[in-house]
Structure 1
């Protein structure tokens, strides 16, 4: 009897198996605790069950049982169908063919319910393989042909390489001699298309058998030996058993020692891995071999082993019943009755869950109590260290503030002198209107500088303090800023474009808000190329006003975007004409805006420009007459 490649654990269009099977298992096991999506968690468990059957059927059953239980609770039909299919594989490999047939049939019905044609094909193939194992060959052939016909319309036809391979391997006599190579080549093309190395190894066995049966045994046996070695080196033990048995059969009449060696190698793998069907098959071959050699003592030993295995199988069959297809149909009818009994068990389950949760909570509390006792001393030391660090930082901050105030104090006299000189020159009647305007601007700028210096002298950089709120017309404030800074923009042949006519009144500190707008517009001038335009716009939101300052300058690189609001930030850069930055303007601006219960943010792209947004609440007495929707902030 030929035993086929059982790649049935994979759902069609699931991921391909490859030689890195153990690595895949370890990788998924590491990922499990971090999967929070319940459906993805079920899929991961099913994949582990599918990957594990080659190395440990117990692990495969454990993962499959967990997946089936969770999928059933979540009513996840696809996950439950995959788990049922995995159970079919497990019982198939254990030798309980009736149970395998039952679970394969259940999986087929589940896939049919969710219109999963690809997995319906592979479930049909699995059923055909079980029919072949229990000797119902005509049923197996018809079922294979049904799977082939069903798979013709598949868009992703990776499963068809397995169907064609298994059918050709088990029933070559049902295929015309001229068509066998076509089936093999078609299966090989599909496996190559999807880079399924496992199926390609199995197809090599088919080619070897083809050479042997068609008059080229030397080439066929050499190919079969190489294929078996490659399969074993890849730890594909289940797949290798067919090849080892095939090699034993080929050498049985010509080289007894080699034949026995291959049979025993396969038997050792079957026993170690718990592959029940292969275990019985190889022992029977060894028994027949020694009977043919008239070695009755050794034959008697293997006959005893075979009887013992048959007794075990008979117990399994008696426990599991005879016709599990019929059992599965009845099981579906009984499911509705089971649902009714579920409600009766609900309160008991809830009570048990409460008890379990109580125990878990007590365990967690006890564990945390132990941890707290162990870490109390460490925390005390860390707290002491933190206090020392805070004291040191406080001293540094005070020194830092003292230096700032000294510098501000030293600047008062020269700036005051500038203001006085501007005032003297301004009264000169011979001055041209342009010169008078310049003197006005100079005196206004000097006055603003003096106010900033006075504030630096009187504050500890906390812009939330000393906010003197008054009614402010935003249009007038922006017009004043643009007018004052237009001369600075002309130095770089730039144009400040103000678009506002909202006539919105807000409550705020005019001088501080003027400073914010001054900082933003000066930054745009500084970091924009000569000849560019800088746009200042306003928009009304439902209960707020949005001010936008947009330029097309050098932009802010992503790597420093999270630092630009820091005081004396390290993200400082020179302007487009080498203007020196100081790293304090945006920090102060952010403090002022937040002191007005507002928000400031920006969006920027390197070499494409920057757009700053200021959102301020509107005076509650002001009636908003129109609403403009605007994108929410993407940076802060």
Structure 2
């Protein structure tokens, strides 16, 4: 039932991992970590194949997993094979893969890189390849030291302590464990449960174990209680159910150790209480059963010493079944010893006691042989040698750098000599040209002065010509206007022959075009300093322009649509009227009969935007860049043969730019054109005066 629950939780996480809300290439700890906990539980109870299947399915479900995701998969497999199954060959291969994944991104994953080096050392140590193991330990230590990471150093020191412990050098191990505890004091990140909590309580607990092995029971009790206090102080910071579960497991381990010390001190009451509590907490499939196995052996020893043989026999049988399912070499050795003692107490000198003794001694000899081989290993000289090799490599590298710097200095010196000679030669040649360059510079300066005077004369001439043109245009406007009025009156009276009416219509058309040309000439070269700025209601000005232009639009059956908002700005009313009238007139001129022309105005970002949109003949790409030129050759007749002079848009652009605005257009042939005028603010509040002036 428990296995099914774990698999169900894992499957739910797999389904959740398939949702499309994730970013590609990112790490997904929220998906991965819960499944890894479930996989640990499966492997712990011997379900290795199921555990791997769940783990593989999760990572297959992740689309484009991040570097951290791939590392976590490999690290979890390394832990399973190394710490749980004790298959150091596979653990070593997964450690290699861990380093390969992180190698190109060490700066982003420094802790993972250090952990992969230490994990490789652990696997090699298990394979008894001590030289290479120490080399990887050394690389990990150097990496952590270079990053000035005192917290990270505790991992390295903890491993050295563990090695001394395995060698049976408990006094040395205590020193390293205490050093690891001090280094762990620099781990202050409460969001990192493993560093801030798990490592620290484990190191303090390990100090107590070493003192227990040294038979210093009072000190062992002190450190076990210190570990419990460590847990009590820090457990309030962690409320996640997975963290709470680990905390209970850690308490169970320490309770078992306390029970062992009290058993040694013959305090059977406290011993039994702590041992049973430790078994209660950890004798579960999803908890550290191997620790529960050791605690059961201690409780069996208590039952034998207190002559509770039936309970001892039942507990030893239960422990046997557990060891057959989940092997544990240390617990196996203790079980064999305890079974021998049990038979020796209940049936002295009997065949069962003798067989149990032989069984125990056989395994003990094997363990002692391995212990003796490990005892001969001394990492202190190994690290001293690696340090020396590292220093030699540094000196060699410094020597190479110095040699390279020397060659660079020689090359630079040679180049400096060559450059000096070239400079000296060039200086000799340059002196011959100084006088010539001086004369040439004087000539250029004189020509520049002459050009400046000529430019001023041209500007003055242009201003005179413009003034003269405006005077002539102004003087011509009255007589030409009179001609236009007389022609219009005669056409209105009627009674004329067709030839006379044609002549009058021609006179009317020609005079109207001439008046338009004169009006445009009067507004050539509008400058900002010549503007007469007053508050102008653009809404009413546009309405006026549309009303005036509506007569021309009606002649072609066109519809003028006006969409505006109330806007008042400081403008030259007459000139802006000229711009708007010209744009609306052009739209009428170049639009077919019966079409619609839309004039709209809106306020945006403190500016007024006016658009004149038609559905006319459009502007070809070949003349788009010339329509704003004065006297341009890009002029074309209207759809009803109306004449164009090529001045209107040029003058309009000058007027708009004199107001600090912009005039531009968008056009497609046979689809129409949109001219836009943007006039900068500020936009004023509407007043009765402004409305009247408009």
Could you say which structure has the greater relative contact order, defined with CA pairs below 8 angstroms and 6 or more residues apart?
1
User: TM-score, with normalisation over the residues of structure 2?
Assistant: 0.44
* Higher helix content, 1 or 2: 2
User: TM-score, with normalisation over the residues of structure 1?
Assistant: 0.47
